[in-house]
Amino acid sequence: MDDSKIAPIMGRLWSPIAAVTSYWQGKANVQIAVAIGAASIVPHMPRVLVQIYKGNFSHDLIYQSQGFALNFPRKEQLHFIKDFGLVSGRDRDKLADVAYERRASGSPLLTDCWGFLDCRVVNAMDAGDMTCFLGEVLEGGTLGEGDPMWWREARREIPPEWNEEWDRKIGQEIQRSVQRMQQIDYAPWKGRQD
């Protein structure tokens, strides 16, 4: 397969940037995700898919709590990329200085962003290096005008050193993913058993 022929197509499949928040047993976290999508055409039964790498701190919080929220930054909130995407929640509390509230899923909802979707996990699929979580939207809404931030636009706007740091981080993730992608657990997801 010629990766260079596929890359222009794959690069256009990215979604708006989302700050994915989660909460479990007193620990809250936020991370940046660009791999999310709508998963229902039924207006009164909205669902979304979010892909979370297994090595991310958020992964276990989402898996255990069975909830997450998608918070969509405004275009001028580029600092979220650095604050939420270039450091791990294992190293520091990324939400320490961020205003948020918690609602139905228990996940933090940022009070200052373009919009949000609060979700309950209804299914999960192991993808080897990541888990694809299917979330039922419990609540959502827009909090601002305009459009959310998109990855392609953000990459042109953020400082070059952030792009370099992001590329290094993704490069490391790719190396780990190559090892894990063939290690898929095909057992059906049963959710938390408590």
Report mean pLDDT in 10-residue bins for the chain, 194 residues.
83 87 97 91 95 95 97 94 92 94 96 97 94 97 90 89 90 86 86 69
pLDDT at residue number 7: 81
> pLDDT of 39-48, one tens digit each?
999 999 999 9
Distance of CA 3 to the CA centre of its chain: 25
**3-class SS of residue 125:** strand
With beta carbons less than 8 A apart as the criterion, state whether 134 and 124 touch: yes
pLDDT at residue number 194: 62
**3-class SS of residue 109:** strand
CA separation, residue 36 to residues 71, 133, 147, 150 (Å): 12, 10, 16, 12
Going by C-alpha positions, the residue among 97, 113, 106, 116 that lies closest to residue 62 is 106
Q: What angle do CA 12, 146, 67 make, to 5 degrees?
A: 70
pTM, to two decimals = 0.91
